[in-house]
Amino acid sequence: MFLAVQEMKVPELLAPAGDFEKLRTAIHYGADAVYLGDPRFSLRGNRTGDFVDAGLREAVLYARGRGVRTYVTANIFPHNRDLPALEEHIEFLKVVRPDAVILSDPGLFMMFRKRAPEIALHVSTQANVTNVESALFWEDLGAERLVLSRELSMEEIAEIRLKTSLELEVFVHGSICISYSGRCYISSFLASRSANMGRCTNSCRWSYALVEEKRPGDFLPVFEDDRGTYIMSSKDLCMIAHLPALVEAGVDSFKIEGRMKGINYVAGVVKTYREAIDSMQGGTYRVNPRWLRELSMFSNRGYTTAMFFGRHPDEDYNFNGGIYRMSHELVGIVLGIEGDTARVGLRNRLDRGDRVEYLSPGLEGAVFEIDSMVDEEGADVCSARNGDVVFFSVPDGVRRNDLVRRPLDRGGERK
């Protein structure tokens, strides 16, 4: 697929950083900016606590030292009881000085404007900006960027672009929430965990069946599928083939979903979109088939372009296969290189004779056999497991912080 690309501003690649390891991974594979947040004030945030107080300060400094921007999420819908802690958080962020804070709530927006006017504010997709008047409302309040609603088409984005000077950001890849731009109560009702306070259990991804009142225990599938139904679970978003169209519509930042996803996902998606964005500067945009293969390697629900091109048939959205798709699993992370030997921290079992791939530029798709490995004491090992550190030979081009992955057969078993 070839697309002519006129001279245009290169959009920002914005990646998720659910914890410090994902932060390092996103930066290593080419993110221009990362979004992260204190889990107390952040929707969809990781619960590890990596970014509370000192951890958040360290993350901002780490990214800044590598020329990467940090956007801190404070996009919960707070209740009165949350306001004192938020006031303290604002004072803390005045010292940390992230490149921007992402907000949803108008009251919290005004708290930042009054107490920390020097901090740039981005309006979250949870604010549901779907029209020009809403965009102008936030512009008048002093916002610098809008993370547009996921429900917008290309034409609607272009119309907003014509009427506002604000930066525009859209999601280009990842999970899609079934509710309107993420304002959901399913998790609250079924698991007593509010998605709007950052504690979503992804209840919409669970398998559901109908039960008739007078026949308890008699489950009636909505689809003719013996594994259940996924009526509230959308396919994942993938706009890799349409990036120039988004730029032409006026989008300044391409956002990847996934603070709760693993580093295998973060590394693969960021690396792929980095290459795609960089290729747009050549004058003609060609979708490399390797990018599509790469995006199929980690767990996904199949892909859709969602609402960007208007309404599609339901089968273009619905995930009803009952299983996630993936062709590779994470084996480990290269912790260091000395000569042709890598020190690898394992995240999975690794046996001598296993065939692995390296997520390293120039080595995509190449498979290498582990013919020998030793442990940290130098003893030969035939098998190692998650948490072990082992040493083995790697090809030229493998770098520190690169991921080691293993191809799976169609049944999900190691090849």
pLDDT digits (tens, 9 = 90+) for 88-141: 999 999 999 999 999 999 999 999 999 999 999 999 998 999 999 999 999 999
**pTM for the whole structure:** 0.86
Rounded CA-CA distance 355/365 in Å is 12
Alpha-carbon distances of 9 from 5, 146, 251, 277, 373, rounded to whole Å: 11, 18, 10, 11, 47
What is the separation of C-alpha 377 from the centre of its chain, rounded to a whole number of angstroms?
38
Q: Give 391-404 pLDDT, tens digit per residue.
A: 999 999 999 999 99
pLDDT for 326 equals 77
**Residue 92 DSSP SS3:** helix
Who contacts 3 (Cβ-Cβ below 8 Å, separation ≥6)? 244, 245, 284, 285, 286
- What domains can be seen in the chain, in order of their start residue? 2-180+233-316 (3.20.20.70), 328-407 (2.40.30.10)
**Residue 350 DSSP SS3:** strand
Ramachandran angles phi, psi of 146, nearest 5°: -115, 125
Q: Give 68-82 pLDDT, tens digit per residue.
A: 999 999 998 899 999
